[in-house]
Copies of this chain bind each other. A is one copy, B any other.
Amino acid sequence: MTADRNSRTGSGAHGPRWRRRREARPGEILEAALQVFVQRGFAQARMEEIARRAGVTKGTVYLYFASKEELFRAVVRETITPQLELIERIVAEHRGSAAELFRQLVRRWWTVVGETELARLPKLMVAEAANFPELAEFFVREVVQRARGIVGGVLRRGIAAGEFREVDVEAAVRLAVAPLLAAAIYRHSLLPCDSEPWDFQKYLDLHVEFFLRGIARAEASHD
C-alpha cells in the first residue's frame, strides 16, 4: 500500500499538490479566519465565508477547529506567536545609542508589523476584548506588556547612560507606543472611510523626532 502510494507519488504531478494542500489546510483556514474576523468582528463573521475563503466547505473547518470560538482563539494565538518573535528579533538585532535604537525600533516595527497583516490584530482585540476577556488578557500579557518591557528597557538604558532625562518611564513607554497602535488601529478601521490620506512615513518620523526631543537631556541635538 505504501509502495503503491510512493510509486504513484514519484510519477505524476498532481499527487503531491493534493498532499501539500492537506497539510496546509489549518494554515489556510487561520489566514482566512483572520481576514474575516478582522473585517466583520467575531459575531458577524460567518463560518461559511471563512471556509469559502480558505477554499473549503463549512464542515471542513470543524475538522480542525472545534468551534467558532476555538477558531478565533487559534487565530489570535497563531498570529501572536510570530509577532512575539518579530518583536524580539527587532530589539535583539539593534545596536548603538538608545536614541538610535528607539528610531530603529519604530522603523522596524512599522516594516514587520504596521505594514503587514499583523497590524490587524490590535483592532480585533480591542473590538472583542469585552467578549473574550481571557483572550484579551493573553494578548495584553504576551504582546502589550512584553512590548512595554522592551521599550522600557531601551528608555531605562538611555536614562542610565545619561542620554535621556529621568522621566516617568511607565508614562513614557505608553507615550512611545500609543502613536504606533493608533496608526495600526486607524488604518484597519476608519482610514478606509476617511477622505483625507495619512502619510505614515512622515507621521512616524515626526513621532520619533518629537519623542526623542522630548526625552532628550538638555540641549540635545536631534535628527
Contacts and interface: CB of A to CB of B under 8 A. Distances in A.
B185 A140 contact: no
Interface in A132-158: 133, 136-137, 139-141, 144-145, 148
Interface in A103-155: 123, 125-131, 133, 136-137, 139-141, 144-145, 148
B212 A216 contact: no
A8 interface: no
B223 A214 contact: no
Interface residues of A, number: 66
Interface of A: 39-44, 99, 123, 125-131, 133, 136-137, 139-141, 144-145, 148, 167-168, 170-172, 174-175, 178-179, 181-183, 185-186, 189-190, 192-196, 198-199, 202-203, 205-207, 209-216, 218-223
A202 B145 CA distance: 19
A20 to B, nearest CB: 20
Nearest to A44: B43
A126 B190 contact: yes
